[in-house]
């Protein structure tokens, strides 16, 4: 009797085991049998729909099959005390959706260029990095530092494609290929300055009369004469006033010489433009009068930090609706913005804030999934840019917050990452900010050369030499620190020896071909 019962139990166990094995085989057949997404067109499209419907949930990735991975995110900014706490909060979302963890690695602005260049030249392993045309994007692409993203975007960037205006993806193309994903934000800008509101009110400045660079001089003179501990116009290597308002369009990385004057289709060296030269000379006069900080050519101190310390009155930046309120929330200093140019959409406006994937990334697919989530997952994005609710900010309305502890987490990266339209608004901002962005975009004049991206490859050796020459002259001359009449001729002579004319001719050739193709 016991033998019969034991045989029955054994038979039942065998049947159950067979059933489990059959189920497992069926599951593997349906999943494609590996950790990657099934890439048939029908499955990819359906998966993208599921991902969007689940607010960025990576339903198309087979999350349960992905091996754990830690993804590094590199961007310019200071280290934050509560960085680890924010990482832990983000990881709860990332592990569920793409089985990943994040390692946030900000690099101080002062060290950003040297540090990131070293990382790329030595082949250091990292995953996602901030980039921009003003920050060497084209050079990095030419050096092979970034992964080509077209296929990854189609496979794992469904929410990016669904939410981002297609015009943004025309900007970062090099030889027709995409190597970085722009932030979803305003796609136009006007250049100008931010000024402290307390001093504007104190001296009853009429900002409505300020239309040009020269109109600022009476303001700076008043500050210089009455506020001995305040610099009227603060300039650093990264915030050179005359560069922002020169009215010229370079249509390339800043390391590539040659710009178009308004209405022109012929490239020329910037210092040969009479209007720009006039601004440079006025800037030099301001420096000599003490309106500009004496260490403009060497300082690494960020404008926002100097404003917090009450040491400066004005600094330059690209403007947009509510830029003054954005920076005000980050610094705690009440500000007013003064535009000095009209809204304009250039290739640079769509490529001035992007994320790229390093060629050394351990898992480019997962890195793209992270970027996709930053364009679709509101909770994840706001953790990264604002920190933890109840600790770093409090909600005062459904989509409105007030900072609680800026000393612990205040990275200032809300313009760098993902879909800015998902960011919470600060209580000092206009509740119609995002609608204003859309109107601002619509009214901006679009550059006739929009979409042109210069290919550095044919003249990369000359550009390397030109970059070395510019390092000697550009910052001292453009900050007003040295006599422009003396040093600009020396600058040009050395650039000509380095290949200035060849680079500008190549740029003209590529641009003419681009324009002919548009017709």
Q: What is the pLDDT of residues 120-176, one digit of tens each?
A: 999 999 999 999 988 889 889 989 999 999 999 999 999 999 999 898 998 898 888
Quote the pLDDT of residue 64.
62
Alpha helix segments (H runs only) across 32-166: 41-53, 83-98, 109-121, 137-142, 150-156, 158-163
> Quick check: 23 pLDDT over 50?
no
Sheet containing strand 69-76, strands side by side: 100-107, 69-76, 128-131, 354-357, 181-182
C-alpha to C-alpha distance for 80 and 396, rounded to whole angstroms: 24
Q: Which residue has better confidence, 381 or 165?
A: 381
Quote the pLDDT of residue 387.
96
> Quick check: 38 pLDDT over 90?
no
Contact 129, 356 (CB under 8 A): yes
C-alpha angle with apex 85: 413 to 132, nearest 5 degrees? Answer: 20
Q: Which residue has better confidence, 13 or 255?
A: 255
Q: Nearest 5°: phi and psi at 130?
A: -70, 145
**What would the mean pLDDT of 361-385 be, rounded to a whole number?**
98
Chain-centroid distance of CA 510 in Å reads 26
> Which structure tokens are listed for 480?
């007003």
For strand 425-426 and strand 400-403, is the pairing parallel, antiparallel, or unpaired? Answer: parallel
Quote the pLDDT of residue 381.
98
pLDDT band (50, 70, 90) for residue 29: very low
C-alpha to C-alpha distance for 169 and 315, rounded to whole angstroms: 30
- Sketch out the chain's domains with CATH numbers: 27-186+346-449 (3.40.190.10), 190-342+456-519 (3.40.190.10)
> Which structure tokens are listed for 518?
């548009």
> Which structure tokens are listed for 73?
């995110």
> Quick check: 13 pLDDT over 50?
no
- Residue 73: which of 61, 86, 62 has the closest Cα? 86
Residue 122, beta-bridge partner list? none
For strand 190-196 and strand 312-319, is the pairing parallel, antiparallel, or unpaired? Answer: antiparallel
> Quick check: 113 pLDDT over 50?
yes
Q: What is the pLDDT of residues 183-217, one digit of tens each?
A: 999 888 889 999 999 999 999 999 999 999 999 99
- Residue 470: which of 123, 113, 77 has the closest Cα? 113
C-alpha to C-alpha distance for 360 and 112, rounded to whole angstroms: 19
Residue 295 buriedness (CB in 10 A; 0-12 / 13-18 / 19+) = middle
pLDDT band (50, 70, 90) for residue 437: confident
DSSP state of 273: -
Instruction: Give the three-state DSSP class for 232.
Output: strand
C-alpha to C-alpha distance for 178 and 356, rounded to whole angstroms: 9
C-alpha to C-alpha distance for 480 and 240, rounded to whole angstroms: 10
DSSP state of 117: H
225 CB contacts (<8 Å, ≥6 apart)? none
DSSP state of 188: -
Instruction: Give the dihedral sign, CA 111/131/253/261.
Output: negative
Give the mean pLDDT of the chain: 87
Q: Please tell me whether the overall predicted TM-score, pTM, comes out greater than 0.85 for this model.
A: no
> Which structure tokens are listed for 334?
């009440």
Residue 144: CA atoms inside 13 Å, Cβ hemisphere, count? 4
510 CB contacts (<8 Å, ≥6 apart)? 452, 454, 455
Instruction: Give the three-state DSSP class for 392.
Output: coil
> Quick check: 56 pLDDT over 80?
no
Residue 128: CA atoms inside 13 Å, Cβ hemisphere, count? 25
C-alpha to C-alpha distance for 2 and 228, rounded to whole angstroms: 102
- Residue 356: which of 95, 92, 119 has the closest Cα? 119
> Which structure tokens are listed for 68?
């754990």
> Quick check: 404 pLDDT over 60?
yes
Q: Which residue has better confidence, 101 or 347?
A: 101
């Amino acid at each position: 009797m016991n033998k019969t019962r034991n045989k029955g139990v054994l038979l039942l166990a065998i049947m159950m085991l067979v059933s489990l094995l059959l189920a497992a085989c069926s599951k593997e057949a349906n999943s494609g049998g590996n950790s990657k997404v099934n890439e048939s067109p029908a499955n990819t499209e359906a998966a993208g729909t599921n991902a969007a419907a689940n607010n960025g949930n990576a339903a198309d990735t087979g999350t349960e099959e992905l091996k754990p991975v830690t993804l590094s995110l590199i961007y310019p900014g200071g280290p934050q005390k509560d960085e680890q706490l924010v990482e832990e909060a983000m990881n709860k979302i990332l592990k569920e959706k793409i089985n990943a963890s994040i390692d946030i690695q900000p690099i101080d602005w002062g060290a950003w260029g040297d540090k990131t260049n070293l990382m790329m030249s030595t082949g250091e392993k990292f995953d996602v990095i901030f980039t921009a045309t003003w920050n060497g994007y084209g050079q990095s692409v030419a050096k092979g530092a970034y992964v080509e993203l077209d296929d990854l975007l189609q496979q794992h960037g469904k929410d990016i494609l669904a939410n981002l205006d297609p015009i943004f993806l025309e900007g970062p193309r090099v030889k027709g290929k995409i190597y970085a994903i722009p932030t979803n934000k305003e796609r136009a800008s006007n250049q100008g300055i931010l000024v402290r509101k307390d001093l504007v009110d104190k001296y009853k400045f009429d900002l409505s009369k300020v239309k040009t660079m020269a109109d600022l001089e009476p303001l700076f003179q008043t500050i210089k004469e009455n506020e001995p501990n305040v610099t009227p116009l603060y300039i650093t290597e990264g915030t050179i006033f005359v560069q922002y308002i020169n009215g010229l369009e370079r249509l390339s990385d800043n390391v590539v010489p040659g710009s178009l004057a308004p209405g022109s289709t012929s490239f020329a060296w910037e210092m040969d433009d009479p209007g720009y030269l006039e601004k440079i000379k006025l800037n030099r006069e301001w420096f000599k009068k003490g309106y500009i900080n004496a260490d403009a050519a060497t300082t690494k101190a960020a404008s926002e930090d100097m404003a917090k310390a009450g040491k400066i009155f004005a600094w330059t930046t690209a403007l947009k609706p509510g830029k003054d309120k954005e920076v005000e929330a980050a610094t705690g200093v009440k500000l007013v913005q003064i535009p000095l140019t009209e809204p304009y959409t250039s290739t640079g406006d769509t490529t001035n804030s992007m994320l790229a994937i390093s060629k050394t990334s351990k898992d480019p697919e997962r890195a793209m999934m992270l970027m996709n989530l930053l364009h679709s997952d509101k909770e994840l994005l706001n953790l990264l840019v604002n920190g933890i609710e109840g600790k770093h900010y409090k909600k005062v309305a459904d989509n409105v917050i007030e900072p609680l502890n800026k000393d612990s987490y205040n990275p200032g990266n809300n313009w760098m990452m993902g879909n800015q339209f998902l960011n919470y608004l600060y209580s000092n901002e206009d509740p119609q900010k995002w609608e204003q962005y859309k109107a601002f975009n619509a009214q901006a004049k679009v550059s006739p050369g929009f979409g042109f991206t210069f290919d550095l490859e044919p003249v990369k050796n000359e550009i390397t030499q030109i970059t070395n020459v510019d390092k000697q002259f550009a910052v001292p001359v453009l900050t007003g620190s040295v006599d422009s009449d003396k040093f600009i001729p020396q600058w040009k002579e050395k650039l000509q020896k380095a290949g200035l004319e060849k680079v500008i001719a190549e740029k003209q050739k590529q641009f003419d071909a681009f324009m002919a193709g548009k017709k």
